[in-house]
Structure 1
Amino acid sequence: MEATIQQLREALDTGEVSSKELVLLYEERIETYDKAGEEPKRKLLLGVPSHLK
């Protein structure tokens, strides 16, 4: 699903999604693109604290 920054902000503000869930969704999306062989490869450059994983 594609979403604008405003839509993401609203989802966070209303509790529809947590910041942790949003990061996990983006991790999954990046992995999907990388596995599909899309170029250029998208590399996840986030430091997620272990207690949030």
Structure 2
Amino acid sequence: MTDAARIEKARRLLSEPASRPSAWGLLAAAGLMALSAVLMAGTIVLGPGFGV
């Protein structure tokens, strides 16, 4: 095995595998956005002027 072949093999082994985007990540991000919108609306509604 030549040095060039060894270097090429090492580069292939060290390169990161291509990851496929997951629908679960998108769903989690959408859920987090919805939760933050609800919390922000609650803060505005029950904000500084709220009294019991």
Establish whether TM, by shorter chain, passes 0.5.
no
Which structure dedicates a bigger proportion of its chain to helix?
A: 2
TM-score (norm 2): 0.39
Flag the structure with larger Rg: 2
TM-score (norm 1): 0.39
